[in-house]
Chain A
Amino acid sequence: AQSVAQPEDQVNVAEGNPLTVKCTYSVSGNPYLFWYVQYPNRGLQFLLKYITGDNLVKGSYGFEAEFNKSQTSFHLKKPSALVSDSALYFCAVRDRGTGRRALTFGSGTRLQVQP
């Protein structure tokens, strides 16, 4: 079975400061990992993904995430937060070793960037 944990319900950060949104995963094989952002009453927007290769993945809007296999983590980061980054962020995983193509999502972390 595959699962994702986002230990923080909410992250607060001041504008201009670096931000980190945590994600850990559990799969039986190797993972595909994703980050999505959701604005109120909207669908999910893709931010970035890890498939293979470099552990540091760069995505949209200045976000990046680092795949850490030993810690089974895929934390989302941004060097300098913007107020407009305030939204709900979801980490998702898919086990490459199974035929299951659906994503399993974490519980979500609300990011609040204060001006």
Chain B
Amino acid sequence: GAVVSQHPSWVICKSGTSVKIECRSLDFQATTMFWYRQFPKQSLMLMATSNEGSKATYEQGVEKDKFLINHASLTLSTLTVTSAHPEDSSFYICSARDGARAISRTYNEQFFGPGTRLTVL
């Protein structure tokens, strides 16, 4: 249980195009999802926190108009990198928090997706 999937696992795109990354909680309801990015040999940096049905909260320095986050349902959040440039190339990882059922064994835990490697040419 408590599986988070991401799609695609990798993507290569041309500069100036937009890329959408999906994050799904497969067997639990994710009231909160988080988006991180990781540069080579570096740690995960939080980009934004999204709560189902409301606007995402972005970390300082993260452009909300460039990194569009939608969390329309309890099992799906999407990150769209708009007008991607080579400097946006990174490993993007989502995590989902099981916050729907307080009696659940996994309540309040975060589960991470496998990541999406974005390469912008």
Residues of A bordering B, CB below 8 Å? 36, 41-46, 49, 90, 101-108
Report yes or no: B111 in contact with A41, Cβ–Cβ below 8 A: no
User: Within the assembled complex, what's the spacing in Å between the Cα atoms of A102 and B112?
Assistant: 12
Report yes or no: A42 in contact with B111, Cβ–Cβ below 8 A: no
Chief secondary structure at chain B's binding surface = strand
Report yes or no: B43 in contact with A44, Cβ–Cβ below 8 A: no
Interface residue? B72 (CB, 8 A) = no
Interface string of B1-43 (1 = CB under 8 A from A): 0001010000000000000000000000000101000000011
* A41, A42, A43, A104: most-surrounded residue (chain B CB, <10 A): A43
Q: List 23 A-B contacts (CB under 8 A).
A: A41-B91, A43-B4, A43-B6, A43-B93, A43-B112, A43-B113, A44-B93, A44-B95, A44-B112, A46-B109, A46-B111, A46-B112, A49-B109, A101-B49, A101-B97, A101-B110, A102-B49, A103-B46, A103-B110, A104-B46, A105-B44, A107-B42, A107-B43
With CB as the reference atom, state the residue of chain B lying closest to A104: B46
User: Within the assembled complex, what's the spacing in Å between the Cα atoms of A46 and B34?
Assistant: 16
User: Within the assembled complex, what's the spacing in Å between the Cα atoms of A36 and B36?
Assistant: 14
Q: How large is the interface on B (under 10, 10 to 19, 20 to 34, 35 or more residues)?
A: 20 to 34
Given known contacts A101-B32, A102-B34, A103-B110, A43 and B43 CB-to-CB distance under 8 angstroms? no
User: Within the assembled complex, what's the spacing in Å between the Cα atoms of A104 and B110?
Assistant: 12
* B43, B109, B112, B117: most-surrounded residue (chain A CB, <10 A): B43
Report yes or no: B97 in contact with A90, Cβ–Cβ below 8 A: no
With CB as the reference atom, state the residue of chain B lying closest to A42: B114
Chain A residues within 8 Å of B113, by CB: 43
Report yes or no: B44 in contact with A90, Cβ–Cβ below 8 A: yes
Chain B residues within 8 Å of A102, by CB: 34, 46, 49
Chain B residues within 8 Å of A42, by CB: 114-115
User: Within the assembled complex, what's the spacing in Å between the Cα atoms of A43 and B34?
Assistant: 13
In the assembled complex, how far is the CB of residue A18 from the closest CB belonging to chain B, in whole angstroms?
25
Known: A101-B97, A102-B34. 11 other contacts (CB 8 A): A41-B91, A42-B114, A43-B4, A43-B93, A90-B44, A101-B49, A102-B46, A105-B44, A107-B42, A108-B42, A108-B43
